[in-house]
Amino acid sequence: MRSPHHHGRPSLRRWVATTVALGVLTALTGSVAAQEAEPPTQPPGSDPAAGAGPAGPAGDAPPAEAEAPAPPPVDPSPQLRVVLAKLSIIHAEDVLASEEGKLVDVRAELEAANQHRDAARAVVADAKRRLERARRLLADLAVSSFMYASGGTSSPAAKITVYEKKKERELTRAVMDNKVDAVRQHEEALDDAQHLLDERQAEVDALAARVVDQEAMVGLARQALDDARRELRTAQAQDAPVLFDPADTGRWQLPIAGESVLSAEELTAWFEHVGGRSMAGAPVADLARWYIEEGAAEGLRGDVAFAQAVLETGGFTNDDTIRFNNYAGIGHCDSCLTGWAFPSPQEGVRAQIQLLKSYVYDKPEYRFELVDRRLRGPAGCCQTWNQLTGVWASASHYGPAMLGIYLNMAEFALDRRTMMRAMGAG
């Protein structure tokens, strides 16, 4: 397919002008404007190679000087790396606090379980003592009863009548039965107590294992925080402004593949903050949520894809948005009249994510069926968002302009999270 390209460049220029006024692409102001302008035409008969001197007969107007080529745009990647590292630190600190809180909770559960287990042990010990006492009483009664029955006792019992002996044997038997029942009840009580103790011990064992697991999670969270802080130090040491050079692969660039850093709620809040007025067939909150979800499904950064859509559609206001649910110039070229149409807003988002994935991987596998079988990019051509420049769109500032918008989104989210933390701490 031909490189997707936004057809309505006047609307894109209006969007860029608006975002510049809002501070979104401040670093890109000069380069974006210069590269959107048409190159100057040379006057008839002029020779651009001749320099500034006269080229014709005396009295002729000197040829116009060739206009110097526009400088390359500023690449916002170094500044974006710093902001993303700061966001990662906040996230890592929140995760660490959460994991440490879970560790405190599970340790408290373990302590309570130990107390319950110890109480169950005491019940078992008491049940054993009661059973032992009942067994001794039964044994003593059995011995006495045997000696009495065999005449082995010197008591007035030898002089009692047969009837009285019968009654006494019946009474002895009843007492024996009672003691046997008592022993049996104590045995059952001991079994119940032991069963409860086994359950309590199992709870202790399970919670002890959870403590070990949670301690490991805390360790991982601390390591993630250390890594984020190290990344910030590295990013700050390399945050000097640089000009965009698509051939420079030595500097840090934001990969297309990966997890979103910003949430759908933050994307929506940013769009409202900059005064966006979407004309899409679904609320921006839904679009933002789909970008995050569809990106996660395919392993791509859906939050940056949202920034790409903002750039491509002039803030979800162009004709493709309104008529075709097409938010990324898909199917456009510089001379094409329209892009492709997609059945619903969500499928328009999905199509963009799926097409991006075909740019990243040689043989992409998709979570969902392709929205359109034509969604095939130059397989594996682009691993970073800047590498889409000249491939997804022909504009030489495409990557920096897109990342400039995303940088503004990230800065907005950073300020917002910092403020919310401060309010929470207060």
Task: Indicate the pLDDT class of residue 255, thresholds 50, 70 and 90.
Answer: very high
Average confidence (pLDDT) over 117-122: 95
Checking if the pLDDT of 98 tops 80, the result is yes
Task: Indicate the pLDDT class of residue 183, thresholds 50, 70 and 90.
Answer: confident
Checking if the pLDDT of 117 tops 60, the result is yes
Token digits for 104?
């405190």
How far apart are alpha carbons 406 and 308 in whole angstroms? Answer: 8
Contact 47, 55 (CB under 8 A): yes
Report helix, strand or coil for 384: strand
Task: Indicate the pLDDT class of residue 172, thresholds 50, 70 and 90.
Answer: low
Q: How many CB atoms lie within 10 A of CB 249?
A: 11
Task: Indicate the pLDDT class of residue 176, thresholds 50, 70 and 90.
Answer: low
- The 8-class DSSP code of residue 398 comes to H
Token digits for 254?
């934001």
Amino acid at position 241, single letter: P
CA angle 190, 192, 196 (to 5 degrees): 115
Task: Indicate the pLDDT class of residue 49, thresholds 50, 70 and 90.
Answer: very low
Average confidence (pLDDT) over 21-38: 37
How far apart are alpha carbons 225 and 215 in whole angstroms? Answer: 15
Average model confidence (pLDDT) across the chain: 82
Checking if the pLDDT of 232 tops 50, the result is yes
Task: Indicate the pLDDT class of residue 29, thresholds 50, 70 and 90.
Answer: very low
Amino acid at position 228, single letter: A
Contact 183, 113 (CB under 8 A): no
Task: Indicate the pLDDT class of residue 426, thresholds 50, 70 and 90.
Answer: low
How far apart are alpha carbons 55 and 200 in whole angstroms? Answer: 101
Checking if the pLDDT of 12 tops 70, the result is no
pTM: 0.74
Average confidence (pLDDT) over 267-293: 97
Contact 390, 2 (CB under 8 A): no
Higher pLDDT, 358 or 20: 358
Range of weakest confidence among 197-206, 210-219, 365-374, 416-425: 416-425
Tell me the longest C-alpha to C-alpha distance in the chain: 167
Token digits for 6?
């936004």
Range of weakest confidence among 166-170, 220-224, 381-385: 166-170
Amino acid at position 293, single letter: E
Checking if the pLDDT of 44 tops 60, the result is no
DSSP per residue, 76-135 = -HHHHHHHHHHHHHHHHHHHHHHHHHHHHHHHHHHHHHHHHHHHHHHHHHHHHHHHHHHH
Alpha-carbon separation of residue 183 from 122, 139, 247 (angstroms) = 19, 11, 90
Amino acid at position 361, single letter: Y
User: What does the pLDDT read at residue 62?
Assistant: 53
Average confidence (pLDDT) over 387-403: 94
User: What does the pLDDT read at residue 184?
Assistant: 87
CA angle 237, 406, 313 (to 5 degrees): 155
CA angle 2, 338, 30 (to 5 degrees): 75
Average confidence (pLDDT) over 19-43: 37
Task: Indicate the pLDDT class of residue 120, thresholds 50, 70 and 90.
Answer: very high
Find, among 391, 415, 132, 119, the residue nearest to 269 by Cα: 415
How far apart are alpha carbons 194 and 123 in whole angstroms? Answer: 8
Contact 25, 404 (CB under 8 A): yes
Token digits for 408?
């503004």
**Which helix (H) or strand (E) is 242 found in, with range?**
strand 242-243
Average confidence (pLDDT) over 88-96: 96
Task: Indicate the pLDDT class of residue 109, thresholds 50, 70 and 90.
Answer: very high
Checking if the pLDDT of 169 tops 80, the result is no
Report helix, strand or coil for 255: strand
Share of the chain above pLDDT 90, in %: 61
Task: Indicate the pLDDT class of residue 247, thresholds 50, 70 and 90.
Answer: confident
Beta bridge pairs of residue 255: 384
Q: If 0-12 CB within 10 Å is exposed, 13-18 middle and 19+ buried, where does residue 372 land?
A: middle
Task: Indicate the pLDDT class of residue 180, thresholds 50, 70 and 90.
Answer: confident
Amino acid at position 176, single letter: M
Q: Which of 23-32, 71-80, 185-194, 254-263 has the highest mean pLDDT?
A: 254-263
Report helix, strand or coil for 298: helix
User: What does the pLDDT read at residue 92?
Assistant: 97
Average confidence (pLDDT) over 213-224: 98
User: What does the pLDDT read at residue 152?
Assistant: 52
Q: How many CB atoms lie within 10 A of CB 143?
A: 11
Checking if the pLDDT of 146 tops 70, the result is no
